[in-house]
């Protein structure tokens, strides 16, 4: 029995790494734009389909495709904010919320029209590669996703803390009007931040595909989890997203074991509610 709990714990950490990957972009977008990006799940779906098409039609492994898909998704995100979300909403919070909802409706159905509603998957060289740790078998694609999410979180943190562009983004996030006086155009920076957030999703999509599946509705499978992680870690915090992701992964994994896989998912929502009620700034968030 102990063995199963250990396995569930380790497995939970691995899944948590994948969740963190999806949450990184979301927390960045929240941290800068202060909006809940309802199109996040749909854009993850877009990234996964991009990786799937490259793998299935062109034989490119999702790992090789990662830089291309990440850059492509950056462009998609940037353009989406610059030409659709930003214009439609004129920066008003409620309107941005509705705009991201509208975008997700359009994207989901566009991909449904193109790819049909079925579940698609790939079987690659690494699909059955397992890493043996004692009695445990760890799926290599998950280990890779876990590792990359840590690196990516570190990279994002360094980017925001150490580069001029990162500082500009943070300045706009804090004081859009002040930044404008300094000669920074907030709208440009918002588009950039949205693009980077969605670019992260590009990476997430490529890393997720080998151990998951893709369908036009795959985003909804991750959206609530990603929101939970962002809130738990503190909206806008990268270390928070990673720690939050791991905690949620473990909660889900152990919750499933203790409560049964049927009632288990309630653990995530309960943690979510508890954090919101008791410490809404999250584990790593600054005071509001």
227 binds other proteins (CB under 8 A): yes
Distance CA 182, CA 168 (A): 10
Q: Which of 4, 58, 181, 287 binds other proteins (CB under 8 A)?
A: 4
Angle formed by the axes of helices 2-33 and 140-162, to 10°?
A: 30
Q: Which of 195, 216, 244, 245 binds other proteins (CB under 8 A)?
A: 216
68 binds other proteins (CB under 8 A): no
87 binds other proteins (CB under 8 A): yes
Tokens standing for residue 232:
């738990």
The span of 8-16, 62-70, 169-177, 184-192 binding other proteins (CB under 8 A) equals 8-16
Residues whose CB falls within 8 Å of the CB of residue 70, separated by 6 or more in sequence, listed in order: 199, 200, 202, 203, 206
Q: Which of 146, 222, 238, 284 binds other proteins (CB under 8 A)?
A: 222
* Residues between 21 and 50 that touch other proteins (CB under 8 A): 30, 34-36
Kindly state the DSSP code that residue 236 receives in the 8-state scheme: T
The span of 67-75, 83-91, 152-160, 162-170 binding other proteins (CB under 8 A) equals 83-91
CB of 21 to other proteins, least distance (A): 13
CA 22: distance to chain centroid? 2
163 binds other proteins (CB under 8 A): no
* 63 vs 227, beta carbon nearer other proteins: 227
Q: Which of 32, 73, 139, 196 binds other proteins (CB under 8 A)?
A: 139
| H-run or E-run covering 174 | helix 164-174
CA distances (Å), origin 119, targets 52, 95, 102: 11, 33, 24
- DSSP one-letter string for 62-124: HHHHHHHHHHHHHHHHHHIIIIIIHHHHTT-HHHHHHHHHHHHHHHHHHHHHHH-S--B----
* Residues between 238 and 277 that touch other proteins (CB under 8 A): 252-253, 256-257, 260-266, 269-270, 272-273, 276-277
Q: Which of 119, 163, 174, 286 binds other proteins (CB under 8 A)?
A: 119
CB of 182 to other proteins, least distance (A): 27
* 182 vs 270, beta carbon nearer other proteins: 270
């Amino acid at each position: 029995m102990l063995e199963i709990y250990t396995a569930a714990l380790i497995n939970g950490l691995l899944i948590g790494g994948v969740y963190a990957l999806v949450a990184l972009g979301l927390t960045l977008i929240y941290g800068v734009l202060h909006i809940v990006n309802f199109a996040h799940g749909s854009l993850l779906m877009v990234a996964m389909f991009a990786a799937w098409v490259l793998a299935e039609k062109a034989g490119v492994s999702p790992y090789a495709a990662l830089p291309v898909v990440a850059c492509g998704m950056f462009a998609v995100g940037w353009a989406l904010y610059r030409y659709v979300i930003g214009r439609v909403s004129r920066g008003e919070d409620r309107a941005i919320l509705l705009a991201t909802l509208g975008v997700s409706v359009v994207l989901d159905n566009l991909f449904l029209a193109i790819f049909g509603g079925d579940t698609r998957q790939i079987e690659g060289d690494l699909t059955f590669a397992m890493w043996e740790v004692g009695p445990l078998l760890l799926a290599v694609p998950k280990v890779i996703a876990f590792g990359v999410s840590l690196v990516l979180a570190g990279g994002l943190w360094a980017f925001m803390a150490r580069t001029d562009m990162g500082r500009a983004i943070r300045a706009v996030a804090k004081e859009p009007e002040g930044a404008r006086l300094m000669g920074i155009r907030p709208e440009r920076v918002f588009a950039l931040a949205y693009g980077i957030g969605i670019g992260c999703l590009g990476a997430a999509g490529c890393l997720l595909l080998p151990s998951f599946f893709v369908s036009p509705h795959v985003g909804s499978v991750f959206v609530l989890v990603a929101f939970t992680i962002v809130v738990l870690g503190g909206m806008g915090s990268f270390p928070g997203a990673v720690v939050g992701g791991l905690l949620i992964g473990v909660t889900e994994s152990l919750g499933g074991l203790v409560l049964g896989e049927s009632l288990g998912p309630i653990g995530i929502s309960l943690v979510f509610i508890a954090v919101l009620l008791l410490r809404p700034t999250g584990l790593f968030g600054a005071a509001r």
